[in-house]
Amino acid sequence: MDLAYTPDEEEFRARLREWLAKALPTLPPKPSPEDWPGRRAHDLGWQRMLHDAGYGDVHWDASPTLRLIFLEETEKAGAPYVGAGFVGLLHAGPTIAAEGTDEQRARWLPPILRGEEVWCQGFSEPDAGSDLAALRTRARRDGDDYVVSGSKIWTSHAEVADWCELLVRTDPDAPKHRGISWLAMPMDAPGITVRPLKTLAGTTEFAEMFLDEVRVPVANRVGEENDGWRVTMVTLSFERGTAFVGEVVACRRVLRELAAEARGNGRWDDPVLRRRLGRLNAEFRALWRLTQWNVSEAEAADGIPGVGGSVFKLRYSHARQELFDAAAEVLGPASLDLDRPWMSDRLSSLSYTIAAGTSQIQRNIVGERILGLPKER
């Protein structure tokens, strides 16, 4: 593990800071959370600016360390998050870069980098719970196409997506972790119905998706047929390894803001609250070091994060919930007002122990792959 930065990496950081200082004041106002077409245009416009400035490909063509510096500096500067580009830039894109053919990289990666196409994630299913491998959406071969039928839930950004990274069962007789394939499905294909879901915070980042005899070209399969579980582990390692870097930086900023708020409203006099904020500060400092450790590991493994991402995901999900619970304690009765700072984040934080793999699944991964415990029956 090497947590030190090279002169070239520090030069990259300085150049990025200088560009952000000039670019951010030129951005248009951020649209309302309910305005998804507006959010799509805003988020893709930011990605286009990054692309034109030479930073568009940092999520997969740069080293893991440069990627870490990029996410750290953009968050510190208050730049827009990837937003509608989340799945394309942080999940599907890195997976295609690592597992796709030359033709697939040439077709799908440039539009993601230029901010022209949005991807959604078709993994979770209504009857599978937290067991992703229990998926039932079927795909049968018919000539040069797969014919896909089934349903997905919690499909991120489906209502504004151009493509879907889709997991399907291509061999129903195989054990559940085999017989799965990873497909790129065009969202304008006939037979797709999208029904938005409203979150606790009132936004609609997720949707149900129903697939009725949807034809997907075999050429859109990433990886070998029935090898989709291994490809999916690559996708999830990116999600659990580096996709939350910006959020850790943001949480450390929120912690400083909470301390300032507590000093201003008198809550700082409570020693229990001070200890709570102090412990959270130590927690997020440790999570940042764990992030650097995961990036260091990825540097030595062809850029793909390892199972340390599950350790990070497990602890980060709970620390984030504790952080925004502490925010409610700092605000007191005012925390019932959802228009106050941090309160919508408090609601959305409840999903973190479910999204991107539940805490129970992360504990299984840590127990079996890191600690060497017997597999769950």
List, by residue number, the catalytic residues.
239
**C-beta separation of 236 from 217 below 8 A:** no
Three-state secondary structure along 31-94?
Answer: CCCCCHHHHHHHHHHHHHHHHHCCCCCCCCCCCHHHHHHHHHHHHHCCCCCCHHHHHHHHHHHH
Rounded Cα gap, residues 154 and 66, in angstroms: 31
CA distances from 293 to 8, 84, 309, 331 (A): 20, 28, 10, 35
Rounded Cα gap, residues 99 and 95, in angstroms: 6
Q: Tell me how far the alpha carbon of residue 331 is from its chain's centroid.
A: 29
Contacts of 39 (CB under 8 A, 6+ apart): 31, 33, 83, 84, 160
Contacts of 374 (CB under 8 A, 6+ apart): 368
